[in-house]
Structures are given as C-alpha cells and as structure tokens.
Structure 1
C-alpha cells in the first residue's frame, strides 16, 4: 500500500456493468463524477480522483437484494451481478478528519442508483495515516496492568441500574461482585444517567466500594461507567470518574458519534469501553452496511480501548465465525509496525459452558463478560465467578467440562443449572 493512499473494499450488487459502476463509486466519493465536467483537468484528476484497483465478479442473483426506485424508473431489471470492488483513495482528500473519512468510505455510496447492494467489507490504512489519529489510552496491555491481571481471560459482568437500583443499591451490588472475584464490571448500555441513579451520585457511591476493596485486598476492579451523553456532559462525567479513582468509562459509540468519542478520548486518560449497540442495523444484511473489520477500524481511530464483539453460542444473531473474526480484528494492528490493538469484549449469554469454544477459537487475550452466568448461579455470584475460572482452567488443560467438574462443585452446579436454558 502506498503511504499517500488508503484502500476500501466493497461487496456490491447491480444489474449494470460492474466495471462501470465501480468507476461511478470512485468518482462519487472523490471528484464527484465518473465523467469529466468543466474545470476537471488531468492534473486535478491525478491528484484527487479515487482509483478502482480491482473488480471481481463473485455471484449472480435473479432478484435484487434491496429495492431501488432509480432503476425502476428507468425500467432496468436483472439479472443482478455481485462483485467485490477495491478502491484506492488519496489521503490528502481527507486529512486527519474521522467524520469525513467515514463519509468517504461509507456515505453516499449506499444511495447510488446503480446498485441494489452495497457493503463496506475492508478498510486498509498506511501507518503514516493511522498515526494522525488517536491511539488507545490503555488498550490490551494497559487494561491488564490497571486491573493487575497479566495473563488469562479477564472476567467481567454487567449490572443494570436501569431496573431501578438506587446509587446505594448499585454500590451494594458492586461490593458483592468485587468480593466474588470479578476483574471488570460495566453498566448496561441503556443505563447512563437515569433520574433514580444519576452519575453524580452513583459514581462516588460505587467508587467508594471499589476503593475500599482495593485497600483491603490490593485488587483494583475496573468499572466501566456508562457516560453516553452529549459531548460536554461526557467530559464532565469522565472527570468525575477520574477524580473518584476510576479507570474506565463506557460510551454507546453509534449514538454518541465519532467526534464526541474523539473529544472524550482527548480529554481523559481513562480506558474507553466501546459499546457497539446498534451495529446490527449496519451489518445484518449481507449486502448492506459494513463488516466489523471496517467498523472497528473507524472506531479505533477515535481512540477506544475495548470493543464489543458479542459472544460464542450467545443470544444474538451473529454466527460464531463472525464473533471470532471480530475478536481477531481487534487484536490486529491497524497498520504495520504499530501497537494499537484493542481488547475484544465477549458478552451476550456467556457462562461457563461457552468457555471451551471461546478458548479454542480466540485464546485468552479477551474480556469475558457474563451477566446471568455469574449473578444467576444458584449458589451466588462468588460461585458463578468460580465456575468461570474453573471452566477456563479446564479449557487450558484440555479437559472436558463435565470431567473437570467432578472436582469443581461450582462448575458442576453451573452445568446442571444453565445447560439447555
């Protein structure tokens, strides 16, 4: 890859000539047209026009994947061709401007009349360009250091103050979870600053418990407070968390937006836990939106430290293969020679029984979050955490959970209680 350009790869569908449509895409997102207009000199095109690098036909369809009024008005029908298109864009068209980068690779392209499918699959950046954007504050190594866990999966859970818990009740639950032995606790994505448990009260109450636990045991539990809000409010919330000795804040990325998260990154040293809720709207259709590789690339440029990837055998729609690929994307540098990996956060229906598949597919450089698998364990949260640690030990030793559980009562109870639910 040339240092003055970056590349984007798309999966498209069209009833028209795919090579012509690829040129329309390149023109639309750079010079603005696939045909020359007044003032469009050779020099201008050489400097600013995107270039189609490759077009590969990958399939045909007898019906369009998405409706298209433009094609209908023109009376154009199928068959429809599906193709992978790789386009090179000049860095200087954009500069270090994340919203404009996103608008270039994932903007008006989705509305092109020539297509009945458009999906951003891959985004590749040269090192010199990536370095113009924000880096994670902690990333994988820094998160491990802040928690004090050098090796093995980090074990976390989720609390839901949105069910009506007061700041004091939330702090009490955090205390129970700290004693149970978790490494990480996060707010639910739909609970940020509710009237019944405002951050101004919840953060001091919770952090008092976490500080007391650290002073008593030496263990610093990382708490990700959901501070999703307008930009100024997020900065103020992060300042409060930092003053109280916290180490992490969480933001709903799609709701807050690139600029707000960038501003937050530049105003706090805390770890930014990136929650991807809403990503399904961008990704579930195979010929619309974008892949997680491209999605996490854009958000890593905003400086996040952790990225949600969902979980194996979980409750959401993604396949296990997609979850694993997403985790691996998080643990790859965005460009050669960089150390900017972020921590993949596994969640959604995770418990001891999903540990072996997770270990086999993704190893242990990850955050494994279990809500019900800890809090709903029939013998209590401490037993829930113990069952997870026993499951990870069994996976490392290559022993089936059922066999390992004969000497691990917490795991045995988890297997009998959760299996099949």
Structure 2
C-alpha cells in the first residue's frame, strides 16, 4: 500500500460488469460523478481520483438482494454478478477528518443505482496516515494496569435490573458485585441519565462502594458509566467520574457519533468503553451495510479503548465466526508498527460453559469476559458465579475439560449443572 493512499474493500452485487461498477464507485467517492465533468482535468484526476486496485468476481447470486428502481427503469435483468472490489483513495482528499473518512468509504455508495447489494468489508490505512488520528489512551495494557489484572481474562458483569434501581440501590448492587470478585462492571446501554437514578447521584453512590472495596482489598474495580448524551453533557459527566475516582465511561457509539467520541477522547483521560448497540442494523444483511472489521477500524480512529464483539454461542443472531473475526481484528494493529490494539468485550449469554469455545477461538485472555445471568443467577450467588468463570478460564489454560475440572471445583460444577441443563 502506498503511503499517500488508503484502501477500502467492498462486496458488490450487480447485473452490470463489476469492473465498470467499480469505476463508478471510484469516481463517485472522489473527484467525479457518473460522467466526466467540466474542470475534471487529467492533472486533477491524477491527484484526487480514487483508483480501482482489484476486482475479484465471485459466484453469482440467484436473485437480487435488494430492490433497485434505477435498474428496473432500465429493464436490466440478471444474472446478479457478485465481486470483491478494492479501491484506494488519496489521503489528501480527506486529511485527519474521521467523519469525512467515513463518508468517503461508505457514504452514497449504498444508494448507487448500479448495485443490488453493497457492503463495506474493510478499511486499510498506511501507518503515517493512521497516526494522524486518535489512538486508544489505555487499550489492553492500560486496562490491565487500571484494574490490576496482570494475567488472565478480565471478568465483568452488567448492572441488572438495567433500569429502575435508584442511585443508592445501584450503589448497593455494585458493592455486592465488587465483593463477588469482579474486575469490571458496566451500565446497560439503555441506562444513561434516567430520572430515577441520575448520574449526578449514581456516580457518587457507585464510586463510594468502589472506593470502600479498594480500601479493604487494594483492588480497583473498573466501572463503565454510560454517559451517552450530547457532547457537552458527556464531558461534564466524564469530569464527575474522574472527580469521584472512576476509571472508565461507556458510550453508545452509533448514536453519539464520531465527532462526539473524538471530543470526549481528547477531553478525558478515562478509558472509553465503546458499545456498538445498533450495529445489527448496519451489518445483519450479508449484502448491505458495514462489516465489523471496517466498523472497528473507524471507531478505533476515534480513540476507544474497548469494543463490544458479542459472545460465542450467545443469545444474538450473528454466527460465531463473526465474533471471532471481530475479536481478532480488535487485537491486531491498524497499521504496521502501530501499538493500538483495543480490548474486545465479549458479552451476551456468556457463562462458565462458553469459556472453552472462547479460548479455542481466540487463543488469548486479553479480553473482557462479561456475564450477566451467568453470574447473578448462579444458584450459590454472584460470588460463586464469578468463581465458576475464573475456574473455567483456569481449566482451559491448563488444557483440562470443564467436566473434569468441575470434579474438584464446586462452583464450576454447580454452574455446569444449572446453566448447562438441556444444552
């Protein structure tokens, strides 16, 4: 890859020649449009036009993935050809402007009349260009330092009930979870600044319990307070968390936007926990939207420290392969020589029994392993739930099957009996 260009790779579907469609895409997202226009000189095109680098034709589709009035007006039938297309763009077209970078690699492409399917799969940046954007302030190593967890997966949970608890009730629950032995606790994405537990009251109540626990044990439990809001409010809430001795805030990335998250990153030294809620609307159709590899690349340029990837054998719709690819992408550098890995956060239906598939899939414990029901619903209580997960991680690292490990680990045995019934 040239140092003055970045690349984006797409999956396209079209009844037209994919190579010609790729040229339309390149023109549309750089200096041109569907035809050459006045002022678009050869010199300008050499400096500013996107270039089609590769077109790899794939197996055709049996029918169009999406409706398309433009093609219908032209009475264009199939076959519906599919191809993987890579286009490079001059970095000078964008500069260090994340919203415009996103508009360049995605933007109007999804509306093109030439396609019946288009999905942004990946974005690749040269190292010098990547370094013009924000990097994680903490990432994997910093999160370990803040929590004091030098080795092993960080075990976390989500505050449940996710809505309805008062500030004081939330504080009491956090105290219980700290005593249970957690490394990490997070708000739910739909609980930010509710009337019954405003952050102005909830943050002091929660951090009072975190500080008490730290005084007793020396252990700082990281709490990701959901401060998703308009930009000025997020800055005020982050300041409150810092004043109270907190170490992390959570943001609903899709609804706050790139600019707000960049502003928050530059304003605060707290760890930024990136929650991807709503990502399914962008990604669930295989021929439309944005794949997680491209998605996590863009958000890492905003400086987040953690990224949600969902969980293996979890409660959501995506296949395990996507979860694995997502975690692998988060832990890989965005460009050669860049130390900018972010910590993948596994959640959704996770418990001791999903630890082996997680370990087998990613081969590392540089991750947040978050369990709600798998901890809070353990028949012997939350502390036993946390212990069962830690016992499962110890077993997989030792190469011991969970049923064998459970013979001498009662908390794990109870978890397998309780949660594993019928599985």
TM-score range, shorter chain: over 0.9
Distance across 2 between alignment mates of 1:399 and 1:13? 46
Residue aligning to 2:384: 383
Residue aligning to 1:292: 292
CA offset at residue 37 of structure 1? 1.1
Residue aligning to 1:188: 188
Residue aligning to 2:416: 415
Q: TM-score normalised to the size of structure 1?
A: 0.99
Q: Which runs of 5+ in 2 are unaligned?
A: none
Residue aligning to 2:394: 393
CA offset at residue 359 of structure 1? 1.0
Correspondences of 1:255-270 after superposition (within 5 Å): 255-270=255-270
Q: Is the 8 A contact 1:234 1:264 kept in 2?
A: yes
CA offset at residue 35 of structure 1? 2.9
Correspondences of 1:271-310 after superposition (within 5 Å): 271-310=271-310
CA offset at residue 160 of structure 1? 3.3
CA offset at residue 146 of structure 1? 0.3
Q: Is the 8 A contact 1:161 1:170 kept in 2?
A: no
Q: Is the 8 A contact 1:350 1:369 kept in 2?
A: yes
CA offset at residue 398 of structure 1? 1.1
Q: Is the 8 A contact 1:306 1:344 kept in 2?
A: yes
CA offset at residue 34 of structure 1? 4.5
CA offset at residue 336 of structure 1? 0.4
Q: 1:162 to 1:411 in 2, by over 3 A?
A: closer
Q: TM-score normalised to the size of structure 2?
A: 0.98
Distance across 2 between alignment mates of 1:65 and 1:162? 37
Q: Is the 8 A contact 1:23 1:34 kept in 2?
A: no
Distance across 1 between alignment mates of 2:217 and 2:56? 59
Deviations 1:257-286 (A, max 9, x none): 000000000100000000000111111111
Correspondences of 1:77-226 after superposition (within 5 Å): 77-160=77-160, 162-226=162-226
Q: Is the 8 A contact 1:224 1:250 kept in 2?
A: yes
CA offset at residue 99 of structure 1? 0.4
What is the root-mean-square deviation in Å for CA atoms of aligned residues? 0.8
Q: Is the 8 A contact 2:3 2:127 kept in 1?
A: yes
Distance across 2 between alignment mates of 1:66 and 1:185? 41
CA offset at residue 163 of structure 1? 2.8
Residue aligning to 1:346: 346
Deviations 1:233-259 (A, max 9, x none): 000000000000000000000010000
Q: Is the 8 A contact 2:162 2:187 kept in 1?
A: no
Distance across 2 between alignment mates of 1:128 and 1:51? 20
SS of 2:407's partner is: helix
Q: Is the 8 A contact 1:26 1:34 kept in 2?
A: no
Residue aligning to 1:364: 365
Distance across 2 between alignment mates of 1:412 and 1:124? 45
Q: Is the 8 A contact 1:160 1:191 kept in 2?
A: no
Q: Is the 8 A contact 2:223 2:246 kept in 1?
A: yes
CA offset at residue 77 of structure 1? 1.4
Runs of 4+ in structure 1 over 3 Å off: none
CA offset at residue 407 of structure 1? 0.6
Q: Is the 8 A contact 2:309 2:323 kept in 1?
A: yes
CA offset at residue 161 of structure 1? 5.3
Q: Is the 8 A contact 1:56 1:84 kept in 2?
A: yes
Distance across 2 between alignment mates of 1:282 and 1:189? 18
SS of 1:3's partner is: coil
CA offset at residue 32 of structure 1? 2.5
Q: Which runs of 5+ in 1 are unaligned?
A: none
Distance across 1 between alignment mates of 2:18 and 2:402? 51
Q: Is the 8 A contact 1:161 1:187 kept in 2?
A: no
CA offset at residue 162 of structure 1? 3.8
Q: Is the 8 A contact 2:160 2:372 kept in 1?
A: no
Distance across 2 between alignment mates of 1:162 and 1:212? 23
Distance across 2 between alignment mates of 1:350 and 1:161? 17
Number of residue pairs aligned between Structure 1 and Structure 2 = 421
SS of 2:204's partner is: helix
Q: Is the 8 A contact 1:376 1:384 kept in 2?
A: yes
Higher mean alpha-carbon deviation, 20-29 vs 161-170, is at 161-170
